[in-house]
Amino acid sequence: MTAVEANFDGLVGPTHHYGGLSYGNVASTASKASVANPRKAALQGLDKMAALAELGLAQGVLPPQERPSVALLRALGFDGDDASVLGRAAAEQPGLLSAASSAACMWTANAATVSPGADTEDGRVHFTPANLVSKLHRAIEAPTTARALQAVFSDSAHFAHHAPLHPCPALGDEGAANHTRLCASHAAAGVEFFVYGTADDSQRTRFPARQTRLASEAVARLHGLPAERCVFAQQHPDAIDAGVFHNDVISVGNGNTLLYHELAFADADRSLAELQAKADFDLHLLEIKADAVPIEDAVSSYLFNSQLVTLPNGTMALVCAQQCRDTPSVWAAIQTLLDGDNPIATVKVFDLNQSMRNGGGPACLRLRVVLDEPQRAAVNPACWINEESLQALRQWVSTHYRDRLHVDDLGDPALLDEVRTALDALTRILALGSIYPFQLP
């Protein structure tokens, strides 16, 4: 049986803005209250999806969530009709309104942890939506994410959906951003590599460590992964304090290759030896030294948030943000990789600046789902990216999105109407049925 790795990118929602909501994510803090361009953000994301589909990769799309979340604001005591809720929140608690309006679900690497059928006990693809408890604006994503994933991967013969872990700091779970899978080929059983920031909810870093070991272990158990094919490694605390809030900001794996920074892991030698021991294939462990790329350059360029993808010809491409080309140490490191004895043969550069300014690079924007042929055939067909869906989605964005959005605009009741009109149309384009709160009875 053959299998492909599909990338499901998050479609950037119409309320994309810079709220400064993610303490510990240096780009988010630096961009606070600057003017965003939601239309450009969504089109930049679609351009990346189009290019990966063009390379011959299986590319899907996941829908954005309904924002502002009037339900969150009501639950926090703002009442009256929708316009009054927004107006009061804007006047009294603009930070809460920003959290309720965040388009952060675009970063689908945080939507869920996904284990391919080749790795799981029952042969099904297992999904656990991330609870994202570390940040209010992200924690509210989980219930709708769960519904969206079930709408896209609905056939229970092929797909198993778990509930998000109980939402509490001890079980902080940020999904696939802290998880990668190494394998000889996508169809073969792999080794699942879980990276956590802290063992439980004790905090030993200046910036928050968002993922706990307890959570990663629970996900591995739920997915029915054999212990002899799982590795749990701790993130280096200095990396977290340099702005590495998710492990995918400092390492990326694909197939038999793991690309990582010297400062990625707390006990790198032990963790990587365990990884090599549990893999029944030769691993390419590609370490980038801090002398070559200082951690600050790694964080500002998002080198390790590049997507590492296997092309149909069997070589790998590094799909990076243009900040990598603009950072001399990083661009030099990429040239060294391309010249080296490893599977990475090409680099593709993308302008994802709208997302990057909130700390979201190429790999943040995608959720990887490995699918064998029957599983691939069972995916909601309207969620695949092809010429037709791209045209419909680009047209949809151009019709419904603003080209300028600032935190001060979020209380505008017209924005809520625009969003609902847009999302209603989107559920038809992506054949999702009713998944949004405003569509539910």
179-182 sheet: strands from edge to edge: 179-182, 191-196, 230-234
Of 16-24, 82-90, 324-332, 344-352: span binding ligand SUG (CB under 6 A): 16-24
**Min dist. Cβ of residue 389 to ligand SUG (A):** 24
* CB 398 within 8 Å of CB 339: no
Catalytic residue among 246, 261, 284, 400: 246
- Residue 141 known to be catalytic: no
- Residue 174 known to be catalytic: yes
**Min dist. Cβ of residue 390 to ligand SUG (A):** 24
| 154-193: contacts with ligand SUG (CB under 6 A) | 177
**Min dist. Cβ of residue 249 to ligand SUG (A):** 5
* CB 317 within 8 Å of CB 7: no
Site string for ligand SUG, 27-66 (x = CB under 6 A): -x--------------------------------------
Tokens 């069997």 identify what position?
314
The size of the interface with ligand SUG (CB under 6 A), counted in residues, is 22
Three-state secondary structure call for residue 156: coil
* CB 327 within 8 Å of CB 301: yes
CB environment 211-229: b (16+ within 10 A), e (fewer)? bbbbbbebbbebbebeeeb
| 112-141: contacts with ligand SUG (CB under 6 A) | 138
* CB 390 within 8 Å of CB 50: yes
Instruction: With residue 278 as reference, give the H or E element that holds it.
Output: helix 268-278
User: Considering beta carbons, is residue 334 or 365 the nearer one to ligand SUG?
Assistant: 365
Of 14-22, 59-67, 79-87, 384-392: span binding ligand SUG (CB under 6 A): 14-22
- Residue 230 known to be catalytic: no
Picking from 282, 264, 245, the residue whose alpha carbon sits closest to that of residue 132 is: 245
Residues 6+ apart with CB under 8 A from 146: 129, 161, 163, 164
CA–CA gap between residue 188 and residue 185 (Å, rounded) = 5
Please select the residue that binds ligand SUG; options are 197, 360, 362, 411, rule is CB under 6 A: 360
CA–CA gap between residue 437 and residue 65 (Å, rounded) = 9
Please select the residue that binds ligand SUG; options are 6, 12, 21, 73, rule is CB under 6 A: 21
Please select the residue that binds ligand SUG; options are 359, 367, 379, 426, rule is CB under 6 A: 359
* CB 31 within 8 Å of CB 16: no
- Does the CA dihedral 87-93-95-100 come out positive or negative? negative
Question: What is the chain's length?
Answer: 441
Please select the residue that binds ligand SUG; options are 104, 233, 250, 275, rule is CB under 6 A: 104
Q: Per CB under 6 A, does 25 bind ligand SUG?
A: yes
What is the distance, to the nearest Å, from the Cα of residue 331 to the centroid of all Cα atoms in its chain? 24
User: Considering beta carbons, is residue 246 or 400 the nearer one to ligand SUG?
Assistant: 246
Please select the residue that binds ligand SUG; options are 142, 364, 369, 385, rule is CB under 6 A: 364
Site string for ligand SUG, 218-257 (x = CB under 6 A): ---------------------------xx-xx--------
Q: Per CB under 6 A, does 319 bind ligand SUG?
A: no
- The CA-atom distances, in angstroms, between 432 and each of 164, 365, 366, 367, 401 are 21, 20, 19, 18, 20
**Min dist. Cβ of residue 180 to ligand SUG (A):** 11
**Min dist. Cβ of residue 96 to ligand SUG (A):** 13
Catalytic residue among 105, 324, 364, 383: 364
| Contact set with ligand SUG (CB under 6 A) | 18-22, 25, 28, 102, 104, 107, 109-110, 138, 177, 245-246, 248-249, 358-360, 364
Residues labelled catalytic: 174, 246, 364
